Amino acid sequence: MINNRILYITRTDPSLKGGGSKAEKSFIMAFHQLYPGKVDLIMADAIDTNHFDLPVKFYLVPSRNKISRFLSLLTGSLHRFRRYVMRFLSMNHEKYSLCVFGGSIIAGDLVDYVNSLGIRTVTIHHNYEKEYHLHNKTVECFKGLFPYYVIRNERNAYLKSALNLFLTEQDKNTFFHVYGPTKGLSKVRGVSEPDYEEEKIEKSTNRSNHALTIVISGTMSSYQTKLGIIDFYKNYYSIVKDIAPQARITFTGRNPGMGLLKMVSNEQETMQMIPNPLNIDEVVRQGDIYLCPTHIGGGLKLRLMDGLKAGLPVLTHSVSARGYDVFFDKPWFQVYNDKASFQNGLTILMDGINKSRWSSMEIQKAYRDYFSFEAGVKRLEACLMELELSFP
């Protein structure tokens, strides 16, 4: 099917360390792995190409002027890519067999045009956009007041793409129930870790040497992360103190605000903040349990991978458990949605650690089998093969 080149269009900077950037990078690298030397990338010119190490040819879209950006709020032009991509493809469409959109915000405005050129279209849905933008009060939905344009673009992308790729089964089912059946294919590809390096050292399960350490990581300036930590502090922190009074809670990640810093300072006997670590994996590996309290937003919460690849058992809110269904039957993966289930999950994990019911290597292997880069490439290849069979 893909005899010519692949055009990949994204407004996410894949060189950054956030969850969305890591997911985008994993897809770009997977396409390159399957079709080396054939991937061209269109992205925003704000991306610092000095730190851009992906083996693809790239084109940069210039920013809009202030007047254009202001008018876009009225016209629903949510991004700068439409005019640039249409002009680019009008001169170069013969080169491409496939156009991949890194998100439906861009795809919704361009999928009709790209289809008209006879180029197959693939849209990667990183989440259910309406849920994500409303929860995070983004500019695209006017700070949570008017999501019409977001819904419009997502619906058009989903219904018109030859292949829709989802990170979670729940997102795929949500799209079907909200937007109805699509003529194209809908597949759950998940995401993979492009830079995964397995920690070789088996973690100690000797509880006599140190108190229990619970680790929470993420972009500390993120609205989702902050809200999740506040929810944990208000509703679940007291449970930790009751059943594990000697436990230490470590927060680590980028750019914590004054509110989180003050909260940690007020609880300095049991909490610590390690901001902007040079290597977040090294911090996480010092923990015994990985906690993900994020309770809003759609898509796959990649921060759980911080804990899994370090071989830590996981306690996660049900919203953040989406996409990790493969681990739901594992005793070291506990899901909560209220105080009772939080206490039960924490108790199970503490008991499992004390009685050595699992090993770090076991958790790492389960993570690697599903989320390693090689596993992700195989899943993407299977999706593209089905696309070829469905649209010969």
Buried b / exposed e over 107-121, threshold 16 CB at 10 Å, is: bbbbbebbeeeebbb
The lowest-confidence range among 1-5, 278-282, 314-318, 374-378 is: 1-5
Mean pLDDT of the chain, nearest integer: 90
Residue whose structure tokens are 């619970």: 214
> How confident is the model at residue 231, as a pLDDT?
97
Buried b / exposed e over 346-358, threshold 16 CB at 10 Å, is: bebbbebbeeeeb
pTM of the shown model: 0.86
Q: How far apart are CA 384 and CA 380, in angstroms?
A: 6
Q: How far apart are CA 159 and CA 180, in angstroms?
A: 8
Residue 390: pLDDT band (50, 70, 90) is: confident
> How confident is the model at residue 164, as a pLDDT?
98
Give the mean model confidence (pLDDT) for residues 293-303: 87
**pLDDT per residue as tens digits for the range 8-65:** 999 998 888 777 888 899 999 999 999 999 999 999 887 766 666 778 888 999 988 7
CA nearest neighbour of 295 among 379, 376, 226: 226
The CATH code of domain 5-194+373-390 reads 3.40.50.2000
DSSP string, 160-180: H-SEEEES-HHHHHHHHHHH-
Residue 66: pLDDT band (50, 70, 90) is: confident
Whether residue 309 contacts residue 193, with contact meaning beta carbons closer than 8 Å, is answered with: yes
* Helix then strand then coil, % of the chain, to nearest 5: 45, 15, 35
CA-based torsion, 230, 253, 222, 287: positive or negative: negative
Give the mean model confidence (pLDDT) for residues 312-332: 96
Helix, strand, or coil (residue 40)? strand
Residue 392: pLDDT band (50, 70, 90) is: low
The CATH code of domain 213-370 reads 3.40.50.2000
Helix, strand, or coil (residue 316)? strand
Comparing 5-194+373-390 with 213-370, is the CATH topology the same? yes
Whether residue 304 contacts residue 314, with contact meaning beta carbons closer than 8 Å, is answered with: yes
pLDDT of residue 123 exceeding 90: yes
Q: How far is CA 105 from CA 64, 78, 102, 158, 170, in A?
A: 17, 7, 9, 11, 20
pLDDT of residue 180 exceeding 60: yes
Q: Which two tokens stand for residue 54?
A: 């992906």
> How confident is the model at residue 207, as a pLDDT?
41
Whether residue 199 contacts residue 310, with contact meaning beta carbons closer than 8 Å, is answered with: yes
Give the mean model confidence (pLDDT) for residues 320-336: 96
Q: What letter does residue 51 receive in the DSSP assignment?
A: G
Q: How far apart are CA 167 and CA 300, in angstroms?
A: 6
Residue whose structure tokens are 């680590």: 252
Domain spans in the chain, listed from the N-terminal domain onward: 5-194+373-390, 213-370
Residue 2: pLDDT band (50, 70, 90) is: low
Query: What type of residue is 40?
Result: D
